[in-house]
Amino acid sequence: MKPVNLNHARKEKERAAKKARADANAVKFGRTKAQRLLDTAQSDQARARLDQLKFEDE
């Protein structure tokens, strides 16, 4: 049986945890500027369309 260096094992475990956290954040927050701009443009367009279709009884 080969001896295990506990410092290497600890550091490897920390790297794996940091990588998992980074991957989770990439999924949660990782959108490009172009994607964010497209989403805002589409929502503005939809809001404007909805405002045009509103029926007012005044």
Looking at residue 6, its pLDDT comes to: 95
Q: What is the 3-state secondary structure (H, E, C) of the chain?
A: CCCCCHHHHHHHHHHHHHHHHHHHHHHHHCCCHHHHHHHHHHHHHHHHHHHHHCCCCC
Cα 29 from chain centroid (whole Å)? 2
pLDDT band, residue 45 (cuts 50/70/90): very high
- Whether 58 has a pLDDT exceeding 80, the answer reads no
Cα 28 from chain centroid (whole Å)? 2
- Whether 42 has a pLDDT exceeding 70, the answer reads yes
- Whether 52 has a pLDDT exceeding 80, the answer reads yes
1-38 pLDDT per residue, tens: 899 999 999 999 999 999 999 999 988 888 888 998 99
